[in-house]
């Protein structure tokens, strides 16, 4: 009996040792597991409820199990409540081999493109999210912002994003947390490419730069191609980057059926530079990007209906053909990359993009904004962003009115994002009204 139990205990101990998930780290322009294998993100955006999808362990378990069947190794969550208990959800995803890429901001703390600023309340809010989630080994990385810059004239907000990265990295160091990668998730604004990516990474002082860059890209629709989609330009513009880059959203839905054919490029010809992608998104809602649903849409006015009528919990049912299509595409794509031990990074830090009036209005040699600083147009103070003399308080007004999407994309990237934001904000308003 004793013998059996000790066998059982050692078997359990062995099991948990085997099951313990390795952490994700950055070396050069690639991600690696702490076991030394290159890590390619195969992710799905996951935000069932506006406030926090990581507190209902039963739900997380159901979703993680289905995600696992198609080879998902990551989820992306946009908003959480740092006061919630996330232990059981994080365990459910860890048990399925799934990592979390998490946005640090909430609706109250996010950095804004209009009148950009970065202050102590925002840093405190970001720190609380870091404090809660740093304890989980399957926390892969944090974003300091999602699509802060959404228009071609938004460059003056970039120094505030970079200041946020600086301060949250200093906080990470002061608390002796592991070196959890800190990045930014950009809207795909052709006119800001590749300046935004290079600006956030440039300067050579790693205390002030992001650890990875990622892009929300919707320019590959249907059976587009590497050239037609503009992915070739994305690739060309990132070969010199000395930090990892991946797509933090992809999965254009304007051409049906969705075939996810961009995945073959991302995990194929681009895999020497890019570190994978995250498919937008898990749950079916008004924007129609869902891979699964929890049941048919109901009348939002009916008793106890979810605010927008889309069920937000229950047994996930794959949506056809999106889910099976993604499954069959992912099945064929498993780049192994290189081992950390065999990889010697050669890229040196990218140069900071030059100030270009009407395009990239950030002084490359200016100091980053200090904590508490606000952008004022026309000032040449050490904001890292000098205005061009417009009297408008929020910027120079010299950029073009609308961003042009990349080849093959029409205006998809912007229009989708605006719809997405509208849906989320609409959801919030509805939830508030509902409570």
Ligand X SMILES: *[C@@H]1O[C@H](CO)[C@@H](O)[C@H](O)[C@H]1NC(C)=O
Which residues are identified as catalytic?
147, 249
Interface residue with ligand X among 181, 307, 399, 427 (CB under 6 A) is 399
Q: Which residues contact 88 (CB under 8 A, 6 or more apart)?
A: 57, 60
Minimum distance from residue 192 beta carbon to ligand X (Å): 11
Residue 406 touching ligand X (CB under 6 A): no
- The smaller minimum CB distance to ligand X, of residues 100 and 156, is found at 156
By CB under 6 A, the count of residues binding ligand X is: 29
Minimum distance from residue 176 beta carbon to ligand X (Å): 17
Site string (238-267) toward ligand X, x via CB under 6 A: -------------------x-x--------
ω into 257 cis (within 30 of 0): yes
Interface residue with ligand X among 84, 222, 311, 397 (CB under 6 A) is 397
- The CB-side HSE value for 67 (13 A sphere, CA atoms) comes to 29
> For residues 315-334, which are near ligand X according to CB under 6 A?
321, 325, 328-329
Q: How far apart are CA 73 and CA 421, in angstroms?
A: 26
* Closest-CA residue to 323 (of 12, 71, 49, 10): 71
Calculate the alpha carbon distances from 275 to 212, 215, 261, 326, 368 in Å: 10, 11, 17, 18, 28
Three-state DSSP class for 77? strand
- The CB-side HSE value for 272 (13 A sphere, CA atoms) comes to 5
Residue 349 touching ligand X (CB under 6 A): no
Residue of closest CB approach to ligand X: 395
Q: How far apart are CA 294 and CA 287, in angstroms?
A: 15
Residue 140 touching ligand X (CB under 6 A): no
Residue 366 touching ligand X (CB under 6 A): no
Q: How far apart are CA 318 and CA 65, in angstroms?
A: 12
- The smaller minimum CB distance to ligand X, of residues 164 and 340, is found at 164
Q: Which residue has the tokens 């009528």?
A: 309
Residue 121 touching ligand X (CB under 6 A): yes
Residue 394 touching ligand X (CB under 6 A): yes
Contact 144, 168 (CB under 8 A): yes
Minimum distance from residue 106 beta carbon to ligand X (Å): 11
Minimum distance from residue 348 beta carbon to ligand X (Å): 15
Point out which residues bind ligand X (CB under 6 A): 117, 119-122, 151, 153, 156, 166, 194, 205, 207-208, 233, 236-237, 257, 259, 321, 325, 328-329, 392, 394-397, 399, 401
């Amino acid at each position: 009996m004793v013998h059996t139990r000790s066998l059982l205990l050692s078997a359990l101990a062995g099991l948990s040792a085997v099951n313990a998930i390795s952490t994700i780290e950055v070396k050069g322009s690639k991600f690696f597991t702490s076991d030394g294998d290159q890590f390619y993100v195969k992710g799905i955006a996951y935000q069932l409820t506006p406030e926090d999808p990581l507190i209902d362990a039963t739900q997380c378990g159901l979703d993680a199990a289905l995600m696992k069947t198609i080879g998902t190794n990551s989820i992306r969550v946009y908003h959480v409540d740092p006061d919630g208990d996330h232990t059981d959800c994080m365990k459910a995803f860890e048990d399925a081999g799934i990592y979390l890429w998490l946005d640090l901001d909430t609706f109250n703390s996010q950095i804004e493109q209009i009148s950009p600023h970065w202050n102590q309340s925002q840093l405190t809010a970001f720190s609380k999210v870091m404090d809660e989630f740093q304890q989980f080994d399957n926390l892969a990385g944090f974003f300091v912002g999602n699509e802060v810059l959404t228009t071609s004239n938004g460059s003056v907000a970039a120094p505030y994003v970079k200041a946020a990265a600086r301060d949250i990295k200093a906080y990470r160091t002061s608390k002796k947390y592991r070196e959890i990668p800190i990045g930014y998730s950009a809207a795909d604004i052709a006119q800001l490419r590749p300046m935004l990516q290079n600006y956030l990474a440039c300067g050579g002082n790693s205390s002030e730069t992001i650890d990875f860059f990622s892009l929300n890209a919707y320019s590959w629709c249907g059976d587009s191609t590497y050239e037609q989609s503009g992915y070739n330009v994305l690739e060309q513009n990132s070969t010199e980057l000395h930090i990892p880059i991946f797509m933090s959203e992809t999965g254009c839905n304007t051409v049906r059926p969705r075939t996810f054919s961009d995945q073959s490029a991302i995990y194929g010809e681009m895999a020497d530079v890019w570190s994978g992608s995250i498919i937008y998104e898990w749950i079916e809602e008004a924007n129609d990007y869902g891979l699964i649903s929890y049941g048919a849409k109901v009348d939002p006015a009916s008793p106890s209906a979810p605010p927008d009528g889309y069920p937000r919990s229950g047994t996930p049912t794959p949506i056809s053909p999106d889910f099976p299509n993604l499954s069959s595409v992912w099945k064929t794509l498993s780049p192994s990359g290189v081992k950390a031990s065999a990889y010697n990074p050669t890229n040196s830090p990218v140069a900071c993009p030059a100030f270009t009036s009407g395009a990239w209005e950030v002084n490359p040699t200016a100091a980053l904004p200090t904590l508490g600083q606000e952008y004022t147009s026309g000032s040449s103070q050490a904001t890292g962003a000098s205005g061009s003399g417009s009297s408008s308080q929020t910027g120079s007004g010299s950029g073009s009115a609308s961003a042009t999407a990349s080849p093959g994309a029409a205006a998809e990237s912007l229009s989708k994002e605006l719809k997405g934001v509208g849906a989320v904000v609409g959801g919030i308003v509805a939830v508030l009204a509902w409570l």
